[in-house]
Amino acid sequence: MDDQRNLYVSRPDAVRRYQIGDKQGTHIAGDIGQGSGLNQLKESRYVFVDRQQTVYVPDCFNHRAMKWNKGATEGIVVAEVHGNGNALNQLAFPNGLLVDTLDILYVTEFRNDRVMRWPKGARQHS
């Protein structure tokens, strides 16, 4: 939930936002079928929303972390990696994430059992 009491729900191919009493929800991210385009997700299982209603999603089967600014129609890859793997420049099935008050992104991975850290604006993790 965000600070305005909106509930965000992640499905394998989309994120929707629901306001109290809303039965249909509002499309936020994905929702055009699974895929690897900037407007698609593939097996997303978690969603994080910051105070500006920016939505962050670990895009599990695409091995990336995505961000949708409020009102955006396409996401931005915020954890730039080089495919699936266990090298320091790779992610393997990211399954959780959060952004702290310093805008540092933390991504958890299912396959590698690790947490990766990306400072704001970084092109790769630290």
Give the CATH number of the domain where residue 30 resides.
Answer: 2.120.10.30
Full-prediction pTM beyond 0.85? yes
Residue 74 domain-assigned (yes or no): yes
The pLDDT tens digits of the residues spanning 12-34 come to 999 999 999 999 999 999 988 89
Residue 114 domain-assigned (yes or no): yes
- Rounded CA gap, 72 and 104, in Å? 21
Domain of 55 in residue numbering reads as 7-118
Residue 2 domain-assigned (yes or no): no
Q: What is the DSSP string of the chain?
A: --TT--EEEEETTEEEEE-TT-SS-EEEEE-S-S-SSTT--SSB---EE-TT--EEEEEGGGTEEEEE-TT-SS-EEEE---SBSSSTT-BSSEEEEEE-TT--EEEEETTTTEEEEE-TT-SS--
Residue 126 domain-assigned (yes or no): no
The pLDDT tens digits of the residues spanning 53-75 come to 999 999 999 999 999 999 999 99
